[in-house]
Amino acid sequence: MNPIVYLLTVAYFALVALGQRIAIGAPTEWATVKPGSNITVEVDRPMTLTGSDEVAIAIGLWPCAGFGDEANRTCAEMDVTQVLGNVLYTGTYAPQLPPPPEFEKPPYQNFTVTVPANFATGQASLGVAHFSLVGASAMPFLEVANITLIIQ
């Protein structure tokens, strides 16, 4: 294969994948939540010109603090990008455009999940794993988005 064609193909698939990335719209980064409480997790998916079929998401909560010397560890000191921890939701993902007048908001879906009653206090990573099929060739696409919450 011609190296230029190969590079253009790789660049195209990278742009397609980046256009499909989700974001956690709620709760906000560093929000404080209580063990045993219900929280609404808003999963946003930006508008894109590339076709995609949403397959599923999973939402999880992972405590960043450990035990002993790691008791005061922060989420920034860990690689939380590929871990969900306590899985709070698994299932379909079907983002919808918001009704008027929220035109500036991307398509999204809200999920109500419960923080486990015995969840450790301190920083926790709220993670959303997203799986979709992208483009005419139905290329599998998997990503994980994270924010840090304070459990208090």
Contact 62, 127 (CB under 8 A): yes
Going by C-beta distance under 8 Å and a sequence separation of 6 or more, which residues neighbour residue 68? none
Report the CATH number that the domain containing residue 130 is assigned in CATH.
Answer: 2.60.40.10
The tokens 């709220």 sit on which residue?
126
pLDDT score for 8: 43
Contact 18, 34 (CB under 8 A): no
* Residue span of the structural domain in which 146 resides: 3-151
Q: What is the pLDDT along the chain (152 residues), one digit of tens a residue?
A: 666 645 444 444 444 444 569 999 999 999 999 999 999 999 999 887 778 899 999 999 999 976 555 667 788 888 888 889 999 999 999 999 988 877 788 999 999 999 999 999 999 999 999 999 998 899 999 999 999 999 99
Residues 6+ apart with CB under 8 A from 106: 23, 44, 45, 46, 47, 95
If one counts the domains in the chain, the total is: 1
